[in-house]
Structure 1
Amino acid sequence: MEVKEWKYEDFPEFDESVEGAVVLDTTGDEAGSRYTGQHVEYVNENGVPLHMEIITPFTRNNPEGVYPCVVFVQGSAWMKQDVPAQLPLLARLAERGYVVAIVEYRHSGIAPYPAQAIDARNAVRYIRLHAVEFHVDPERMILSGDSSGGHTAMFGGLRHNDDTDENQFPGVSAEVSGIINYYGSVSVLFDGANPSTLNYKLPDSPEGMEMGGANLRESRELCEELSVECHINKDTDLAPVLIFHGTKDRTVHTRQSVDLYRKMKAVGKKVQLYLVKGGDHGGAEFWTPEVLAIVDAFIKDCFKGI
């Protein structure tokens, strides 16, 4: 055989009959994903570099395709994140045909609320600005996250132009077509909202740190400021929301998502809630083919008319 730079289409296929060998048919549309962006710095906030990890889908027939993007905020109780922690699970979503960008935010030890939502919005802007490089369709963007990242995703979708003072990419939109909230820590309005947090709402608790070291037990006003449902009314501009929450979540009580869902339904917002029976605070049951099919259908519905 001649040695040269073969094009795939021109390379002769091996077609000898081999006794005992089994030939498996393929279409070229079998989906895979690649870890294409490692520790990509997307912004520097006052000397604090923030990074993202990027997973890109591919098929043999479409190795350099352009895809919608899911910007995913890794939860951490608003503390320092282990950003790549769920790369293997999020790769399952990428294989559905989405670029997935897992973003780091400023943790509560260096910047309290709403810094995390501002960072998520700047991550959306950065992806849009570099859409060609990352094989992203800039008109098809979804914001997502789990736990404190779900809280961040919700507020990222609520802020709109309120972060102009920290917009690192003037003229680039941070708007998204939908929000996916996995067991988000979205409320501190009721006792037991975080059933395993022994110092719940005290200054050194995750939620207290997120509000600058405040004692939330002494301030209903600050509790409402941190709780997503208090920022939603019939006039609120908010993209459709998809919520997943386990029924045995020991970290973020299921009622947080239920109360948010009921509030959104009451004021006429588009929202879906799926309760994962027996699910704790995360796990593989949130990334099954059944759940991914729900996510895929939700995202496609968000993009109708674009």
Structure 2
Amino acid sequence: MKFHALITSFILAFCCIISAQEKEYKPVKFPKGYTSQLDVVYKTVNEWEGRIDLYTEQNAKESTPILLNIHGGGWNHGEKESQSGFGSFFKNGYAVANVEYRLVDVAPAPAAIEDVRCALIYIYNNAKELNIDTNKIVIMGGSAGGHLALMAGLLGNNSIYDEDCTYKGEIKIAAIINKYGVTDLVPLAKWKSAKRWLGKNYLDAEFTQSVSPLYYVTEDSPPIFIVHGDADPIVPYSQSVKLYEALVNNNVVTEFLSIPNGKHGKFKNEDKKLFRTKMWQFLKELNLSNF
């Protein structure tokens, strides 16, 4: 019995070590001339502090474009430190803001939207100090992060979820990169992650629409690049189809890269390369590069 107990303890300890290792993410590599500011507090709610990692080129001769990146995780898990693949943005002269937001165990919807809007407003309010060109703000996210990127950008000057933060000027995003994000929560309201995030309001169609990007598409919406695998087992491919159709119907500049047999972000290497190529073609056609 003692031997079995010893083995069990060893297994549990080993699993804990592995779990801890999984949380140890590699630091973001940034070019010479850039400055990193980690865990900058952009917002405080009760005891929760919203933090953002900033990688900026403050001594650049001209103000720089910036990527506002939002991690995914079904609104219930994930951390900004898991995001590190910003190399192509640095090469194209971008600063990067990597954002964390309240997960559902801290606060349900619309808290995460309020947070990413505050992070965006923080960039606007500190643009001069950070040497940011506010005419070249790009927001990107995958899965739940894609949903939040769309909400942050499509809301524009609509301050419905800006109670905690204010900006006196115009909020106009240059482009949104939506990677297989949720666009319409109404048909997904009973989906486990969505139901949990929506909380007691999950059957309230009016509220659910108010936190769904699809319902904010207008002819004034920013350009949007969409990528989605047509075999996605988590976020239905139809979510991106509906968004793309709404954008086209409103004459919004958009491109939809469909990945044949693509799963939920798990694309083949050649598909990942195609995504990067197409995305940068899209951004450069919008003059959203310093090179």
TM-score by length of 2: 0.75
Taking structure 1 as reference, are residues 36 and 172 closer, same or farther at Cα in structure 2, changes over 3 Å only? farther
Pairwise CA RMSD of aligned residues?
3.1
The one of 117, 123, 133 aligned to 1:121 = 117
Residue identity opposite 2:82 in structure 1: A
What is the CA deviation profile of residues 45-72 of structure 1, one whole-angstrom value per residue up to 9, with x for unaligned ones? 23321111233479xxx97764200111
**What's the offset of the Cα at 1:35?**
7.0
1:1-306 to structure 2, matched below 5 A, reads: 32=31, 36-56=36-56, 66-87=63-84, 89-159=85-155, 160-163=157-160, 166-190=163-187, 201=190, 205-216=192-203, 220-232=205-217, 235=218, 237-283=220-266, 285=269, 288-303=272-287
Q: Indicate if the aligned counterparts of 2:142 and 2:181 stay in contact, CA closer than 8 A.
A: yes
**What's the offset of the Cα at 1:140?**
1.3
Taking structure 1 as reference, are residues 37 and 276 closer, same or farther at Cα in structure 2, changes over 3 Å only? farther
Q: Indicate if the aligned counterparts of 2:80 and 2:98 stay in contact, CA closer than 8 A.
A: yes
Between stretches 169-178 and 138-147, larger displacement belongs to 169-178
Residue identity opposite 1:83 in structure 2: K
Taking structure 1 as reference, are residues 164 and 117 closer, same or farther at Cα in structure 2, changes over 3 Å only? closer
- Structure 2: how far apart are the matches of 1:128 and 1:47? 25
Q: Indicate if the aligned counterparts of 1:142 and 1:299 stay in contact, CA closer than 8 A.
A: no
**What's the offset of the Cα at 1:73?**
1.1
- Structure 2: how far apart are the matches of 1:201 and 1:275? 26
**What's the offset of the Cα at 1:150?**
0.9
Between stretches 145-154 and 119-128, larger displacement belongs to 119-128
Residue identity opposite 2:282 in structure 1: F
Residue identity opposite 1:122 in structure 2: C
Q: Indicate if the aligned counterparts of 1:77 and 1:206 stay in contact, CA closer than 8 A.
A: yes
Please list every run of 5 or more consecutive structure 2 residues that lacks an aligned counterpart in the other structure.
1-29
Q: Indicate if the aligned counterparts of 1:56 and 1:94 stay in contact, CA closer than 8 A.
A: no
- Structure 2: how far apart are the matches of 1:67 and 1:55? 11
What is the CA deviation profile of residues 201-221 of structure 1, one whole-angstrom value per residue up to 9, with x for unaligned ones? 16xx211122124454xx555
What is the CA deviation profile of residues 127-154 of structure 1, one whole-angstrom value per residue up to 9, with x for unaligned ones? 2222244332222111221111111111
Please list every run of 5 or more consecutive structure 1 residues that lacks an aligned counterpart in the other structure.
1-30, 194-199
Match of 1:163, SS?
Answer: coil
- Structure 2: how far apart are the matches of 1:150 and 1:286? 22
Match of 1:166, SS?
Answer: coil
The percent of aligned pairs where both chains have the same amino acid is 26
**What's the offset of the Cα at 1:288?**
4.2
- Structure 1: how far apart are the matches of 2:205 and 2:162? 27
Residue identity opposite 2:93 in structure 1: G
Match of 2:83, SS?
Answer: helix
- Structure 2: how far apart are the matches of 1:207 and 1:101? 26
What is the CA deviation profile of residues 8-66 of structure 1, one whole-angstrom value per residue up to 9, with x for unaligned ones? xxxxxxxxxxxxxxxxxxxxxxx9476712222111123321111233479xxx97764
Q: Indicate if the aligned counterparts of 2:42 and 2:51 stay in contact, CA closer than 8 A.
A: yes
Taking structure 1 as reference, are residues 170 and 220 closer, same or farther at Cα in structure 2, changes over 3 Å only? closer
Larger fraction in helix: 2
Higher CA-based Rg: 1
Residue identity opposite 2:224 in structure 1: V
Taking structure 1 as reference, are residues 214 and 208 closer, same or farther at Cα in structure 2, changes over 3 Å only? farther
**What's the offset of the Cα at 1:257?**
0.7
